[in-house]
C-alpha cells in the first residue's frame, strides 16, 4: 500500500503511550483486515532526532479527506464530519438531512441503508463495543460520503486506545448499559450523550 505524504502522521498511541503503544493499532487492524471497515493502517517506527533514539512512535493514516483520496482511488468530492458536528470537507446539506432522518421514527432498515452503509456502521459499533472503547461515540467518530448521486455515509475507525481495559477498566464492564444510559457511569457520561447514541 502506498500512502500520500500528506495523509500520514506520527502518533504516540494517544492515551496508551504509557502502556502498550499499540492498543489502538491492534484493535483497528484486527477489525479492519477482517470486515468492511475504513481504518487507519499502522506501522511501528523507531523515532530519532539528530541520530538520538527518542521513542517508539506509530506511522498512521490520518482520518481526513486525504485518507479517502488514498484509499478510494482519488475520490475528492466528499462531505466529511468529525464528532457529529465538525465539518472537515464539503457542506452541511446531506449531513443535516441524515440527522433529521435518524431523529424521526418509523423508518425501515432499507431506508437507512440507502443513506448510510449500515453494514459498515454495524462493524464500527461492534468494534468499539466489543473492545470496550468508551471514548466513543461522542468523540473519535469520523463519517464521510461521496458527493455523488446515491453516495452513502461511511465511517472511519479512529482512536480506539481507550479499549482493551485501558486504565484498569474491568473486563466485565456493562458496555451496553453504558451505551443506552447516560446516567450509568458519571465518569464516562461525556461520551454517550443521547445525541451521540441516537
**Domain definitions of the chain by residue range:** 6-191
**8 A C-beta contact, residue 95 and residue 81:** yes
pLDDT at 166: 87
8-27 burial by CB neighbour count: b if 16+ within 10 A, else e? beebebbebbeeebbbbbbb
**How many Cα atoms within 13 Å fall on the side-chain side of residue 60?**
24
pLDDT per residue as tens, the chain (198 positions)? 554 545 778 888 888 888 888 899 999 999 999 999 999 998 999 989 999 998 888 898 889 999 999 999 999 999 999 998 899 999 999 999 999 999 999 999 999 999 999 999 999 999 999 999 988 998 999 999 999 999 999 999 999 998 998 888 888 889 889 988 999 988 888 888 888 888
pLDDT at 147: 96
Edge-to-edge, what's the strand order for the sheet holding 52-61? 8-11, 52-61, 42-49
pLDDT at 189: 86
Helices (H), the chain: 23-32, 65-71, 93-102, 109-115, 118-130, 175-180, 194-197
**8 A C-beta contact, residue 162 and residue 107:** no
- How far apart, in whole angstroms, are the C-alpha atoms of residue 149 and residue 172? 44
The grid cell for 45 is 517506527
Q: Whole-model pTM?
A: 0.89
Residues 6+ apart with CB under 8 A from 95: 79, 81, 87, 143
Tell me the torsion sign for CA atoms 121, 36, 154, 87.
positive
Amino acid at each position: 500500500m502506498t500512502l500520500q505524504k500528506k495523509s500520514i502522521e506520527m502518533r504516540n498511541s494517544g492515551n496508551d503511550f504509557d502502556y502498550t503503544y499499540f492498543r489502538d493499532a491492534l484493535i483497528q487492524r484486527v477489525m479492519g483486515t477482517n470486515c468492511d471497515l475504513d481504518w487507519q493502517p499502522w506501522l511501528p517506527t523507531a523515532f530519532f532526532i539528530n541520530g538520538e533514539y527518542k521513542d517508539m512512535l506509530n506511522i498512521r493514516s490520518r482520518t481526513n479527506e486525504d485518507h479517502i483520496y488514498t484509499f478510494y482511488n482519488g475520490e475528492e468530492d466528499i462531505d466529511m464530519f468529525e464528532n457529529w458536528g465538525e465539518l472537515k470537507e464539503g457542506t452541511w446539506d446531506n449531513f443535516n438531512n441524515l440527522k433529521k432522518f435518524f431523529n424521526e421514527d418509523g423508518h425501515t432498515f432499507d431506508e437507512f441503508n440507502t443513506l448510510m452503509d449500515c453494514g459498515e456502521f454495524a462493524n464500527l459499533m461492534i468494534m468499539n463495543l466489543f473492545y470496550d472503547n468508551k471514548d466513543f461515540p461522542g468523540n473519535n467518530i469520523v463519517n464521510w460520503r461521496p458527493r455523488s448521486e446515491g453516495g452513502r455515509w461511511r465511517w472511519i475507525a479512529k482512536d480506539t486506545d481507550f479499549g482493551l481495559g485501558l486504565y484498569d477498566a474491568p473486563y466485565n464492564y456493562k458496555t451496553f448499559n453504558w451505551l443506552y444510559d447516560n446516567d450509568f457511569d458519571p465518569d464516562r457520561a461525556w461520551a454517550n450523550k443521547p445525541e451521540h447514541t441516537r
